[in-house]
Amino acid sequence: MTDIQLLPAVVDFLARPHGHFIDGQYRSGDSDRLIDVYNPSTGQVVSRFHDASAADVDSAVQGARRAFKGAWAEVSPYEKGVILNRLADLIEANGEELAQLETLCSGKSINLSRGLEIAQSVVFLRYFAGWATKITGQTMTPSLPSFNGERYTAFTLREPVGVVAGIVPWNFSVMIGIWKIASALVTGCTIVVKPSEFTPLTLLRIAELAVQAGVPAGAFNVVNGTGRAGQALIDHCDVAKVAFTGSVPTGIAVGKAAMAANLTRATLELGGKNPAALLADVDVDAAVAGILQTAYVHQGQVCASPERLYVHRSKVEAFTQKLAAALQQLKIGSALDQDAQFGPLANQAHLQKILGYFERARSNNTVVCGARQVERPGYFVEPTVILANGADDPLLHEETFGPIVCVLPFDDEEQLVTLMNDSPFGLTASIWTNDLSKAFRLIPQIEAGTVWVNMHTFLDPAVPFGGSKASGVGREFGSAFIDDYTELKSVMIRF
Ligand code: NAD
């Protein structure tokens, strides 16, 4: 098993001095703080970038503001759609380069970078491009009677809110970045994106492609840095909306900071502790295949992944044994190795967090498989199945964001609903059954933004996605995103 050969374009790109993309230009930035970028498969530094200064953030927001009032406002809705489609074509054409860059920084399997991160970014971008010509207000007849025979009519306009600050996590930096970039541009907003400090490079390359696609200077900017740069963006008086994806604690801080800054509107896509319920009639082999695919993809570092499994008592033994057997067959290896089926965690800090959960599990739980670090360079751990120590087990309540599934038996469906809803989070859930009438009875009782049946973590651009309870505020995709990126202006006319 060997790593793929890096494209010369990737090697050249890594060697560049990195910083930001502001007002249509690559800028190394004026700060002397350099942040290293690590390859999670080796633990080695692959590149570094200049942390954004307050002046870099200000310059990006000013550029975005000019483009919002000028160049992007002058582009017709039809042409906006054409430009976004052109960007999708360019991302597709440069897909291998982008996939390699993303894999190097994030530790995402090269197969997943190609087939999901890049390929799905293209699909989502094309979907959003279609909305450019379909964003409209409504006409209505005012309801009150006239006093002196005068008449009234009214209509609404959907106006772009302005400059959007898009703050993105490290797990799907391209795809989540594209959701925000496309939502902003298609509604007529402009955007400054701040990628995670762990995955700063790929969106910089995509910003270059956006210029090639015809996105005018300033409409799409990237500033790189830590949470400090994110905070400076939120505090900026010319930012009209914050679109944040990340953890619950950071999301709460971001929401408060946005409110305090300027009553700035904020959408928050946050973490989860997502339940999957395997009912008594479940097809165990199908459920094993499904859970294997969804709970362990990208080493479990997926916000929507199931981490707590409620399995009907009659199926626990068969399910856990078959899942463990399948996990032990997975080939663990470098993210750049096309034959590897399970790669590294994304960064050293996350590795330490997951090792902490392993330690707790080894002292308090039955470990069915895994819960060990893999002895090799980089940030590798074994895929893990743990039996919960009762309904209050912290492993059923804290988001690990890793390849750890915690299983608890249940006996009846009333108890199941209580267990599934016993969480401050409400991002996703799934029900695995051959009996659709049971699934339909359960769906309305489950507190989650998305409920899947016989699958989990299946995102479609036409279907709204977002969290209920502490998993977030707002929805992406479908037509739902339009509300969050536009202001509704009401116009009334007397005649
Ligand atoms: P994180 O919250 O640590 O960081 C997210 C982003 O916020 C990064 O760019 C970071 O630099 C920035 N940031 C940190 N502090 C900030 C501050 N004070 N002000 C402004 N920005 C700040 O999250 P992470 O570790 O990068 O990502 C993992 C988390 O993201 C998990 O909890 C996961 O569930 C969640 N997530 C949610 C979704 C979703 O759609 N609901 C999708 C992917 C990931």
DSSP 75: S
Confidence of residue 32 (pLDDT cuts 50, 70, 90): confident
Q: How far apart are CA 189 and CA 184, in angstroms?
A: 5
Q: How far apart are CA 176 and CA 166, in angstroms?
A: 9
Domains identified in the chain, total number: 2
In a domain, 1, yes or no: no
Whether 29 shows a pLDDT value over 90: the answer reads: no
Q: Check whether residue 359 and residue 248 sit in a common domain.
A: no
In a domain, 237, yes or no: yes
In a domain, 40, yes or no: yes
Q: Check whether residue 265 and residue 294 sit in a common domain.
A: no
CB of 196 closer than 6 A to ligand 1?
Answer: yes
pLDDT at position 1, please? 66
Q: Check whether residue 39 and residue 161 sit in a common domain.
A: yes
pLDDT at position 5, please? 97
> Comparing C-alpha atoms, which of 167, 66, 139, 252 is closest to residue 493?
139
- Find the CATH number of the domain harbouring 346: 3.40.309.10
Active site residue 317: no
In a domain, 175, yes or no: yes
pLDDT at position 269, please? 98
Q: Which domain holds residue 325?
A: 274-460
Active site residue 105: no
In a domain, 467, yes or no: no
Q: Check whether residue 190 and residue 126 sit in a common domain.
A: yes
Q: Check whether residue 416 and residue 383 sit in a common domain.
A: yes
Q: Check whether residue 190 and residue 290 sit in a common domain.
A: no
Q: Check whether residue 217 and residue 304 sit in a common domain.
A: no
Q: Check whether residue 343 and residue 302 sit in a common domain.
A: yes
Give the chain's length. Answer: 495
Q: Check whether residue 405 and residue 483 sit in a common domain.
A: no
Give the position, in ligand 1's atom list, of the atom nearest the Cα of 250: 2
Q: How far apart are CA 190 and CA 63, in angstroms?
A: 9
- Mapped onto helix, strand or coil, the DSSP state of residue 101 is helix
Q: How far is the CA of 87 from the centre of ligand 1 (A)?
A: 26
Q: How far apart are CA 167 and CA 176, in angstroms?
A: 9
DSSP 396: G
Instruction: For residue range 225-264, list pLDDT tens digits in order.
Output: 999 999 999 999 999 999 999 999 999 999 999 999 999 9
**Mean pLDDT, residues 147-153 taken together:** 93
- Find the CATH number of the domain harbouring 175: 3.40.605.10
Instruction: For residue range 88-147, list pLDDT tens digits in order.
Output: 999 999 999 999 999 999 999 999 999 999 999 999 999 999 999 999 999 999 999 888
CB of 118 closer than 6 A to ligand 1?
Answer: no
**Ligand 1, from 51, 168, 171, 231: best to mutate by most atoms within 8 Å of Cβ?**
171
* CA-proximal residue: ligand 1, atom 23 (nearest): 246
Q: How far is the CA of 247 from the centre of ligand 1 (A)?
A: 4
Whether 432 shows a pLDDT value over 80: the answer reads: yes
Q: Check whether residue 385 and residue 255 sit in a common domain.
A: no
CB atoms < 10 A from the CB of 180, how many? 26
In a domain, 3, yes or no: no
Q: How far is the CA of 227 from the centre of ligand 1 (A)?
A: 9
* CA-proximal residue: ligand 1, atom 20 (nearest): 230
pLDDT at position 28, please? 85
* CA-proximal residue: ligand 1, atom 8 (nearest): 196
Instruction: For residue range 55-70, list pLDDT tens digits in order.
Output: 999 999 999 999 999 9
Instruction: For residue range 440-467, list pLDDT tens digits in order.
Output: 999 999 999 999 999 999 999 999 999 9
Q: Check whether residue 235 and residue 384 sit in a common domain.
A: no
Which residue type sits at 59? S
Tokens representing residue 465 in the block: 């996605």
Instruction: For residue range 281-292, list pLDDT tens digits in order.
Output: 999 999 999 999
Q: Taking a C-beta distance cutoff of 8 angstroms, is the pair 346, 172 a contact?
A: no
Please spell the DSSP secondary structure of 347-396, one letter per residue.
-HHHHHHHHHHHHHHHHHSEEEE--SB-SSSSS-B--EEEE-SSTT-GGG
* CA-proximal residue: ligand 1, atom 26 (nearest): 169
- Mapped onto helix, strand or coil, the DSSP state of residue 155 is strand
Instruction: For residue range 180-203, list pLDDT tens digits in order.
Output: 999 999 999 999 999 999 999 999
Tokens representing residue 205 in the block: 């390359």
In a domain, 31, yes or no: yes
Pairing of strands 366-369, 384-387: antiparallel
Q: Taking a C-beta distance cutoff of 8 angstroms, is the pair 247, 270 a contact?
A: yes
Whether 31 shows a pLDDT value over 90: the answer reads: no
Q: Taking a C-beta distance cutoff of 8 angstroms, is the pair 474, 267 a contact?
A: yes
Q: Check whether residue 278 and residue 266 sit in a common domain.
A: no
**Mean pLDDT, residues 350-373 taken together:** 98
Whether 76 shows a pLDDT value over 70: the answer reads: yes
- The per-residue pLDDT of the chain, averaged, comes to 97
**Percent of the chain clearing pLDDT 90 (strictly above):** 98
pLDDT at position 30, please? 72
Q: Which of 102, 117, 269, 399 is catalytic?
A: 269
**Mean pLDDT, residues 74-91 taken together:** 98
CA distances to 71, 100, 242, 315, 477 from 474, in Å: 29, 32, 11, 37, 10
Give the position, in ligand 1's atom list, of the atom nearest the Cα of 233: 20
**Mean pLDDT, residues 472-495 taken together:** 97
Q: How far apart are CA 210 and CA 447, in angstroms?
A: 39
Instruction: For residue range 303-333, list pLDDT tens digits in order.
Output: 999 999 999 999 999 999 999 999 999 999 9
CB of 225 closer than 6 A to ligand 1?
Answer: no
